[in-house]
Amino acid sequence: MSKIALITGITGQDGAYLSEYLIKKGYIVHGMKRRSSLFNTERIDHLYQDPHRENRNLILHYGDLTDSMNITRIIQEVQPDEIYNLAAMSHVKVSFDMPEYTANADGVGTLRILEAVRLLDLTKKTRIYQASTSELYGLVQEIPQKETTPFYPRSPYAVAKLYAYWITVNYREAYGMHASNGILFNHESPLRGETFVTRKITRAVSRIVLGMQEKTYLGNLSAQRDWGHAKDYIRAMHLILQQDTPSDYVIATGITTSVRDFIKKAFEEVGVEVEFKGEGVDEKGFISSIDTSKFGERVGQEYLESFQKRIGTEAVNVDPAYFRPTEVELLIGDPTKSKTVLGWEPKYDLPALVKDMMQSDVELMKKDAFLKDGGYRTMNYFE
């Protein structure tokens, strides 16, 4: 018998990688997707199966974490062995603009799932993974951060996730449920949402070297994050639910890098050196040199001549619109528990992650005729 998994947030970055991973393992995967006026399944379209087909291993249900009855009905219908609660309003900056909605979806949404499993008498059958986050550490109380480090959330997103973390622990202790938190540090990929900083950078660098955009505007360049690859992190989610005993785990690489250094690495990946000058809002990134053979190989010889004129010009500016009212300056995780207990090891390091994202975005930007013609999607503003 195949195991049955229900993934909330299946249309997101992690949902897409996890569903593919579980299907390959022989699972039948059910996913909750939101109704939208446009298609919102791009990340999982390659897994889609016509509903008329028999023995499908990917089945989608309309749903929303703010709707208890809908969640309860889906769980009743699906009778899942494992629930991965990945759905969330996941953008930290946007959570300052939508604090109540964020609390409802990211905080109370988790309660709705736990309570549905309890009411449906599935506490012994259904294991639950809660997508907790390194944002819980916020104003960090210890370096590096591990499972026992006290939390100090710094955004409506993190405060909502704090409720979700503790209600998961509470249901585990109160009702003996197999409910666990993965405290995942930032993880990125070619599928990362376009307004998170790494993807914003790899898209912008690709556009700049292809001559489609002059410069990019970013916020706090000194923030430091422990960045891993989403493909590694979804394996940890699955491992957490395969343990006999539920528990909470930090998933991280143990290495931290500043936003500024991520920008440099993204440019280096295509043979371009960027130098930063100035401080605070006046800090700027200048194109200082080009490794012409690397540029030719990674971007294309035909783009080189016009890009050479960019030497000495600005490619990165700071716009305070991207600053957050309260910032998380430094995150670095200690993954000792997940390595020893779960046997989890990441396959990607930061250079491999940057390479994967840059290769994908250079190709994507070359193909995107809308962007090539000077079009600019509205998504980059203030996130």
The encoded tokens of residue 81 equal: 């062995």
Separation between Cα atoms, residue 238 and residue 218, nearest integer Å: 34
Q: What is the DSSP string of 22-53?
A: HHHTT-EEEEEE---SS---GGGGGG---TTS
DSSP conformational letter for 338: I
Stretch that binds ligand F7E, among 57-65, 133-141, 250-258, 338-346 (CB under 6 A): 133-141
Q: Smaller CB distance to ligand NAP: residue 36 or 292?
A: 36
Q: In this structure, are residues 161 and 132 in contact, taking their beta carbons and an 8 Å threshold?
A: yes
Binding residue for ligand F7E, selected from 33, 154, 178, 200, defined by CB under 6 A? 200
Q: Does 40 help bind ligand NAP (rule: CB under 6 A)?
A: yes
State the residue number with the nearest CB to ligand F7E.
223
Stretch that binds ligand NAP, among 32-40, 148-156, 242-250, 339-347 (CB under 6 A): 32-40
Q: Does 256 help bind ligand F7E (rule: CB under 6 A)?
A: no
User: How many residues in the shown chain lie near ligand NAP by CB under 6 A?
Assistant: 26
Q: Is 115 designated active site?
A: no
Give min distance, CB of 318 to ligand F7E, in A: 8
Q: What angle do helix axes 68-78 and 109-119 make, rounded to 10 degrees?
A: 50
Q: Smaller CB distance to ligand NAP: residue 165 or 295?
A: 165
Please give the helix or strand (H or E) that residue 133 lies within, else none: strand 127-133
Binding residue for ligand F7E, selected from 64, 135, 248, 334, defined by CB under 6 A? 135
Among 11, 110, 133, 202, the one annotated catalytic? 133
Binding residue for ligand NAP, selected from 19, 145, 186, 206, defined by CB under 6 A? 186
Q: Which residues in 10-69 contact ligand F7E (CB under 6 A)? A: none
Q: Smaller CB distance to ligand NAP: residue 17 or 295?
A: 17
Q: Is 133 designated active site?
A: yes
Separation between Cα atoms, residue 283 and residue 381, nearest integer Å: 19
Separation between Cα atoms, residue 183 and residue 186, nearest integer Å: 10
Binding residue for ligand F7E, selected from 12, 63, 190, 219, defined by CB under 6 A? 219
Among 17, 102, 126, 135, the one annotated catalytic? 135
Q: Does 196 help bind ligand F7E (rule: CB under 6 A)?
A: yes
Q: Does 12 help bind ligand NAP (rule: CB under 6 A)?
A: yes
Q: Which residues in 188-207 contact ligand NAP (CB under 6 A)? A: 193
Q: Smaller CB distance to ligand F7E: residue 88 or 177?
A: 88
Q: Does 34 help bind ligand NAP (rule: CB under 6 A)?
A: yes
Residue type, 98: M
DSSP H helices, the chain, are: 13-24, 68-78, 92-97, 99-102, 109-119, 156-175, 197-209, 230-242, 259-269, 292-298, 304-308, 336-337, 350-367, 369-372
Separation between Cα atoms, residue 81 and residue 21, nearest integer Å: 16
Binding residue for ligand F7E, selected from 261, 327, 349, 368, defined by CB under 6 A? 327
Binding residue for ligand NAP, selected from 28, 71, 78, 86, defined by CB under 6 A? 86
Q: Which residues in 102-131 contact ligand NAP (CB under 6 A)? A: 105, 131
Given ligand F7E, ligand NAP, none, residue 87, with its beta carbon under 5 to 8 Å by kind, binds ligand NAP
Give min distance, CB of 77 to ligand NAP, in A: 16
Q: What angle do helix axes 13-24 and 230-242 make, rounded to 10 degrees?
A: 60
Q: How many other CB atoms are there within 10 angstroms of residue 261's CB atom?
A: 15
Separation between Cα atoms, residue 307 and residue 133, nearest integer Å: 40
User: How many residues in the shown chain lie near ligand F7E by CB under 6 A?
Assistant: 23
Q: Does 225 help bind ligand F7E (rule: CB under 6 A)?
A: yes
Among 17, 84, 137, 157, the one annotated catalytic? 157
Name the β-bridge partners of 316.
216, 285
Three-state DSSP class for residue 182: strand
Binding residue for ligand NAP, selected from 64, 248, 269, 356, defined by CB under 6 A? 64
Nearest residue to 118 via CA among 191, 177, 201: 177
* Exposure string over 133-163, b if 16+ CB within 10 A, otherwise e: bbbbbbebeeebbbeebebebbbbbbbbbbb
Q: Give contact residues for ligand NAP (rule: CB under 6 A).
A: 8-9, 11-15, 32, 34, 36, 40, 64-66, 86-90, 105, 131, 133, 184, 186-187, 193
Q: Give the active site residues.
A: 133, 135, 157
